[in-house]
């Protein structure tokens, strides 16, 4: 009787140790698997080719962000509404990944007539933006707007009061996350700190995802 009871205790201890080891392995595996971010857009939607000019007068194309994670926004330097808050928050994103050569920020003007290279350079200095990593872009208005609508899937919001530019005007609070293959993986309200923290977290998840490939 005593022998049987000892055997039962030994088996019970063995199964407890076995189940504990399994649970530890399970949690280790689940922690290592990154969150899967959605793909936004119909079919295999990817951003188009483009050619714009940054705050240093250098040409920037889709080749400059190929293989990198990019965060995209649209703004204008004379904006007194949402843009200052957006770029204060974009500076938080920039600071979180400063010096990371795999991360790039593209801030496109919606008012290229006023936002010259010199104006963008002066504006970028407010945020101590490194032009190698945070680019303020200008160029042809139609190309800028086509990229917003058809590549980055950014839609307009009605915030045009006291703005004297051409009738076609995009002004959106959205930050858009683009993966190294050119797919849209997230869209965030750039005026909300909670959304910006979500963006930063998703960028880290995307970095894990790309590292596994």
Element (H, E) at 11: helix 2-32
d(CA 98, CA 120): 20
**pTM of the predicted model, to two decimals?**
0.79
| 69-75 sheet: strands from edge to edge | 134-137, 103-109, 69-75, 174-178, 184-189
Q: Which residue has the higher pLDDT, 12 or 186?
A: 186
Question: Strand, helix or coil at 103?
Answer: strand
Q: What is the pLDDT of residue 137?
A: 98
Reported as a single tens digit per residue, the pLDDT across 109-124 is 999 999 999 999 999 9
| Best CA proximity match to 73, nearest among 58, 61, 88 | 88
The percentage of the chain sitting over the pLDDT mark of 70, rounded to a whole number, equals 77
d(CA 68, CA 77): 26
Reported as a single tens digit per residue, the pLDDT across 16-38 is 544 554 444 444 443 445 568 99
pLDDT category, 6, cuts 50, 70, 90?
A: low
Q: What CA–CA distances, in Å, run from 36 to 68, 186, 203, 204?
A: 18, 11, 11, 12
Whether the per-residue pLDDT at 136 is higher than 60: the answer is yes
In the predicted model, what is the mean pLDDT of residues 179-192? 97
d(CA 158, CA 121): 27
pLDDT category, 193, cuts 50, 70, 90?
A: very high
In the predicted model, what is the mean pLDDT of residues 59-69? 97
Whether the per-residue pLDDT at 14 is higher than 60: the answer is no
Q: What are the tokens at 65?
A: 């962000």
Element (H, E) at 105: strand 103-109
In the predicted model, what is the mean pLDDT of residues 91-109? 97
Q: What is the pLDDT of residue 113?
A: 94
State CA 64 to chain mean position distance. 16
């Amino acid at each position: 009787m005593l022998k049987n009871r000892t055997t039962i205790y030994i088996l019970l201890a063995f199964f407890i140790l076995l189940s504990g080891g399994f649970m530890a392995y399970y949690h280790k595996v689940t922690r290592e698997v990154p969150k899967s971010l959605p793909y936004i857009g119909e079919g295999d939607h990817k951003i188009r080719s483009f050619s714009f000019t940054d705050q240093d007068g250098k040409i920037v194309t889709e080749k400059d962000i190929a293989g990198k994670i990019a965060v995209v926004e649209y703004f204008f330097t004379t904006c007194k509404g949402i843009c200052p808050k957006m770029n204060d928050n974009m500076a938080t994103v920039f600071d979180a990944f400063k010096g990371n050569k795999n991360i790039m920020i593209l801030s496109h003007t919606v008012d290229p007539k006023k936002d010259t290279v010199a104006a963008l350079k002066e504006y970028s200095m407010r945020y101590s933006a490194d032009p190698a990593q945070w680019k303020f872009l200008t160029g042809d208005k139609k190309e800028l707007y086509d990229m917003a609508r058809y590549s980055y899937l950014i839609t307009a919001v009605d915030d045009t009061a006291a703005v004297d530019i051409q009738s076609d005007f995009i002004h959106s609070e959205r930050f858009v996350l683009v993966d190294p293959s050119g797919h849209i993986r997230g869209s965030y309200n750039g005026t909300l700190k909670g959304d910006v923290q979500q963006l930063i977290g998703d960028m880290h998840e995307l970095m894990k995802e790309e590292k596994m490939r």
